[in-house]
Structure 1
Amino acid sequence: MTYTGDVRVGGPTAVRVLDDAEIRKVAVGPSDNNGYLVTCRRSGAQLLLDAAADPDRLLALVREGSGSARLDVLLTTHRHADHVGALASVEAVTGATLAAGADDADAIADAVGRPVRRRLVDGDTLTLGHLVLEVVALRGHTPGSVALALREPDRVTAPDAVPGRVHLFTGDSLFPGGVGATGGDPDRFAQLMDDVVARVFDRFDDATWVYPGHGRDTTLGAERPHLTEWRARGW
């Protein structure tokens, strides 16, 4: 089945098989949050992005990836309540290390009653078995919002693979059609637009696949022509 990234609450998992990694996507909770599981195909190491709601569904997702409850890292893209509802439950079952942007980490820890041990800043890397994922800080939606970038190898054999393509998990900082909400604050909006342009569009090419915190996926190529329009619009 061709991966489209179009999922619904209660629906099946969308699965993308690459040479070194597998990416699984589900939608959970009343806000239709996307949860993503990244699995290293060589080692079985796993990372879950945004344990937002429905811990049973997310734990089932973890088992789909590894055949067990193995989960190495639980990364939360930002501190908003709709992204942390299942965090404590999933951590209690799996023992995964909690990770988040440094400027959101205390708020997340307070909300879930669990310590955030990996406090991430722009340019940090997370090693997941044989995979290396880069942290991209995108300030504005919240002060500590982070995205995560995974790059495919230069030589690929998987049917859905593209040499060197980046897979970018953006939380609520970048969606099809614009950047995330900034509460009507022009300074926060300008900060987020500046970060998205400098740290995403200026660095990664049009083939980059974008996995947002809600809704369907997109690519940088689909969104790049609209950057001037977004800035002029102001939201």
Structure 2
Amino acid sequence: MSNEYTGDVTRGGTPAVRDLGGGLTLTKVSVGPMDNNAYLLRAGTEQLLIDAANDAGTLLALAGESGLRTVVTTHRHQDHWVALAEVVQATGAASLAHTDDAPEIPVVTATLSDGDTVEVGGHTLEVIHVVGHTPGSVVLAYRDPGGRAHLFTGDSLFPGGVGNTRKNKRNFESLINDVEHKLFDRFGDDTWFYPGHGKDSTLGAERSHLPEWRARGW
């Protein structure tokens, strides 16, 4: 993997590109007025987009002539699917989302459940259902050829804390428990995660703060 990748992107700026090994390439771009991150995974002629959040023209240009096989929407909040209908119409891509959020997403051709897999060019990403930010939020997990995990966390995990649960104690408890047990307990400190907004981080950089997040309640 390239050591030059930082994951720092700005709307209208240069996308960040990372070689994940084994012929899989990641491109991160910021779109829309809420600076959503969209992630394009490319392996050979197959491509998968995570969150067609906004700026359909930008996303379609990024996909280029290869088009898209699949779009995965991490959760139902509108800022993560503004461009979805246009992108799917232009590319014919399959549109996937968790069954619990799918009814509020405009174009879904098939639904996902915990433990399902999504493939791009022979590379497999596991679907991890993480409840709290929304009922049907998902994290996509990929292990590179060296064994390092990469997590696409949507709005469920950011540097500095879990996603917004709008002061709903039950939702927060669900989210912090799922993030701790399904992500931190399972994956190592070198695991890199890619959130729905802003900068990336690693689980190792955030792990020691879990008790603090629980104590503050957000």
The alignment partner of 1:8 has SS state of coil
Query: Which shifted more, 89-98 or 121-130?
Result: 121-130
Q: Unaligned 5+ residue runs, structure 2?
A: none
Q: Return the offset for 1:69.
A: 4.0
| 1:50 is aligned to 2:51 | yes
Q: Do the aligned residues in 1 keep the contact of 2:116 with 2:126 (CA within 8 Å)? A: yes
Q: Distance in 2 between matches of 1:127 and 1:26?
A: 21
Identity among equivalent positions (%) equals 57
TM-score normalized by the length of structure 1: 0.89
Aligned equivalent of 2:142, options 150, 161, 183:
150
Q: Return the offset for 1:127.
A: 1.9
Q: Unaligned 5+ residue runs, structure 1?
A: 154-162
The runs of 4+ residues in structure 1 deviating greater than 2 Å are none
The alignment partner of 1:103 has SS state of coil
Partner of 2:149: 166
Could you say what the CA RMSD is over the residues aligned between the two structures, in angstroms?
1.0
Q: Do the aligned residues in 2 keep the contact of 1:125 with 1:135 (CA within 8 Å)? A: yes
Q: Do the aligned residues in 2 keep the contact of 1:169 with 1:211 (CA within 8 Å)? A: yes
Query: Which shifted more, 13-22 or 193-202?
Result: 13-22
Q: Distance in 1 between matches of 2:78 and 2:21?
A: 34
**Aligned partner of 2:177: which letter?**
D
**Aligned partner of 1:53: which letter?**
N
Count, aligned residues:
215
Q: Distance in 1 between matches of 2:66 and 2:41?
A: 14
- 1:172-196 Cα offsets, whole Å, 9 max, x none, are 0000000000011000000000100
- 1:60-100 Cα offsets, whole Å, 9 max, x none, are 1112xxxx142011100000011110000000110000001
**Aligned partner of 1:207: which letter?**
D
TM-score normalized by the length of structure 2: 0.96
Partner of 2:15: 13
| 1:84 is aligned to 2:85 | no
Aligned equivalent of 1:34, options 32, 37, 53:
37
